[in-house]
Amino acid sequence: MKFAIAITLILSFLACSNESQKIEMKSQLDSVAYVIGWGLGEQLIKDSLMMNTELIQKAIDDALAGKEALVNAEDRNQVMQAFSQVMQEKAMKKAEEAKTINLEEGKKFLEANKSKEGVVTTESGLQYKVVKQGNGPKPAGPTTKVKVHYTGKLLDGKVFDSSLQRGEPAEFALNQVIKGWTEGVQLMSVGSKYIFWIPAELAYGERGAGQMIDANRTLEFEVELLEIVE
């Protein structure tokens, strides 16, 4: 279904984007159509789906002209179902490969990182560095509710989440977040700022968390403990 929707959108994109230099976008809907098509085109390239655009254009022209389709409705459904299955299998294979690649990259990074100045490695494998040491109280335990500012990054520096970017601190009980946070924030005094490097098993493990955090990612967080709420 997802791929069928993608094809529908890309057909619309190709119908209006041939010789794009000569096309004038005269309305907001024209602009929206082009932006959607461009984004989808980039996604198809990312997924290595280089299609025969002449056939796509012919299908558009035939449909708009009310001609009979070269492939009947039943066969079209079968084609899309079969291709959806191929894409699902491809995605599953890629995800399995990423598990191994991410795990090895994380281990390699942590091994090199542990010998850097100021980096401390705990018994669990969590690594941290004190950026600023506060003089307030520490959380009393894993059920403590805290208020923090934080920025989360992948090892390549890409930001995947940031309370600073949202302009609002986060509040949560320490037993409601990933294990690396539960352990790490308890080390901090209010007013402190630490950098944490959290191995996959203390982060989101094999399940990952959304598109940016796929399976077995080692994560970096810069955390400032603003307040113990309760």
Predicted local confidence at residue 213, as pLDDT: 94
Catalytic residue selected from 7, 204, 213, 214: 204
> pTM of the predicted model, to two decimals?
0.68
Catalytic residue selected from 7, 13, 128, 150: 150
176-229 pLDDT, tens digit per residue, is 999 999 999 999 999 999 999 999 999 999 999 988 899 999 999 999 999 999
CA 65 → CA 31, 50, 93, 123, distances in Å? 24, 26, 41, 69
Is 34 an active-site residue? Answer: no
Is 221 an active-site residue? Answer: yes
Whole-number Å distance between alpha carbons of 54 and 51: 9
pLDDT at residue 78 is higher than 70: yes
More confident residue, 11 or 141: 141
Whole-number Å distance between alpha carbons of 197 and 153: 10
Predicted local confidence at residue 4, as pLDDT: 46
Contact status, residue 205 vs residue 199, Cβ threshold 8 Å: no
38-48 pLDDT, tens digit per residue, is 876 777 777 77
Strand positions, DSSP E, 30-183: 119-121, 127-132, 145-153, 159-162, 170-173
Catalytic residue selected from 56, 160, 172, 228: 160
Task: List b or e across 142-154, with b for residues whose CB sees 16 or more CB atoms inside 10 angstroms.
Answer: eebebbbbbbbbb
Catalytic residue selected from 3, 34, 161, 172: 161
Strand positions, DSSP E, 107-212: 119-121, 127-132, 145-153, 159-162, 170-173, 193-198
pLDDT at residue 15 is higher than 70: no
Output phi, psi for 161, to 5 deg. -165, 145
Contact status, residue 152 vs residue 204, Cβ threshold 8 Å: no
Catalytic residue selected from 128, 194, 196, 221: 221
pLDDT band for position 59 (cuts 50, 70, 90): confident
Q: 118: closest CA among 20, 201, 37, 197?
A: 197
Predicted local confidence at residue 93, as pLDDT: 82
Is 109 an active-site residue? Answer: no
Helix-helix angle 2-17:53-64, to 10 degrees: 90
Predicted local confidence at residue 22, as pLDDT: 64
Two tokens at 139? Answer: 């959380």
Is 196 an active-site residue? Answer: no
